[in-house]
Amino acid sequence: AKETGRGKAYAYVPELDAERKQIATLEGQLRQALARDEIKPVFQPLVSTSTQRICGVEALARWQTETGSVAPDVFIPLAERSGMIDELGMKILASSICAAAQWGTLGLSVNISPIQLCNPNFVEGVVALLEKEKFDARRLTLEITEGVLISNPDQARRAITSLKTYGIKFALDDFGCGFASIGALRQFGFDRMKLDRSLVWGLDDSGSGSGVLSATIALATALKIPVTAEGIETERQAEALGLAGCDQLQGYLVGRPMGAEELEVLILRDRQA
Ligand code: C2E
Ligand code: CA
Ligand code: CA
Ligand code: CA
């Protein structure tokens, strides 16, 4: 009886009710947007520090509604909670591959949710997609965050190992803002480390973070794991991270996330430069 009482009281708090309704509405809208193919990728250039040229792009999901856009930090977790992430993730992967097929040998990086990686059909699905689109697996990098290495290490390792046999590469995303160690990079067979932008931005404060930062990059490089620096917004950051040994830079300084057409113009200009 106590349970019911509490449940009822809970149900009648008007603000909570409104909040739950809002979430339910957003979930419904996401389901509809997904069915209508309204979740689409944009592409952010990755620039090589040695050649200063675009060497790849990261696909980032976007959801534009009639009233504005919803941030991926909102709709990705929502899709994860409500069983839509497998479908959403495969759609982003498919449309990114279709777009990137036109871009010569340019690398394509796509974010993968831990839930997708642990889905037993994931490996098969990715391989089937690459075959259908005749997309060279060696151009594809899947970006994953460290959480899944801790929560589901065996499943993660199995999926990574098996996709790597096809030539797909793996990047450990957001390195430096969690607990992932350089050791984990090797144990799971990562091909690249992506330094979280919080570390990059730490450079500007006092410079005290820069020792740890350059040691981290040096260690990864010594293990033959190349490092991408994320969130590069200033020339100063670009120079410091390049000098510290990052072979790739990503951030507003080198290019914002953009649509395929805008990117194609940028690629053309980049090749002529
Ligand atoms: P992320 O994978 O760490 O992606 C980088 C984020 O940093 C992107 O935010 C990008 O727009 C932003 N960014 C890039 N350069 C700069 C910069 O110079 N300054 C600043 N302030 N920000 C910069 P976005 O697009 O809002 O995505 C947020 C997160 O949502 C991503 O973080 C990723 O974890 C997730 N996400 C996005 N698309 C997908 C997807 O298709 N699948 C999955 N599973 N997750 C996705
Ligand atoms: Ca990423
Ligand atoms: Ca990241
Ligand atoms: Ca992130």
DSSP string, 143-168: EE-THHHHHSHHHHHHHHHHHHTTT-
- According to the model, what pLDDT value does residue 243 have? 93
- According to the model, what pLDDT value does residue 12 have? 63
- Burial string for 167-201 (b: 16+ CB within 10 Å, else e) reads ebbbbbbbbbeeebebebbeebebbbbbbbbebbb
How far is 82 from 80, CA to CA, in rounded Å?
6
In this predicted structure, the answer to whether residue 182 has a pLDDT above a threshold of 90 is no
257: Cβ below 6 Å to ligand 1? yes
- According to the model, what pLDDT value does residue 2 have? 43
What predicted TM-score, i.e. pTM, was given to this entire model?
A: 0.92
**Of 169, 180, 155, 175, the residue nearest 231 (C-alpha):** 175
147: exposed, middle or buried (Cβ count in 10 Å: 0-12, 13-18, 19+): middle
Confidence of residue 1 (pLDDT cuts 50, 70, 90): very low
Reading the block at residue 125, the tokens are: 């699905």
173: Cβ below 6 Å to ligand 1? yes
- According to the model, what pLDDT value does residue 262 have? 98
Given a contact cutoff of 8 angstroms between Cβ atoms, the answer to whether 249 and 49 are in contact is yes
How far is 219 from 207, CA to CA, in rounded Å?
19
How far is 84 from 34, CA to CA, in rounded Å?
9
C-alpha 200 to ligand 4 mean position (Å): 13
Q: What is the DSSP letter of 138?
A: G
Return mean pLDDT, the chain: 91
C-alpha 177 to ligand 3 mean position (Å): 10
C-alpha 10 to ligand 4 mean position (Å): 34
Q: What one-letter code names the amino acid at 90?
A: M
Does 215 or 39 have the greater pLDDT score? 39
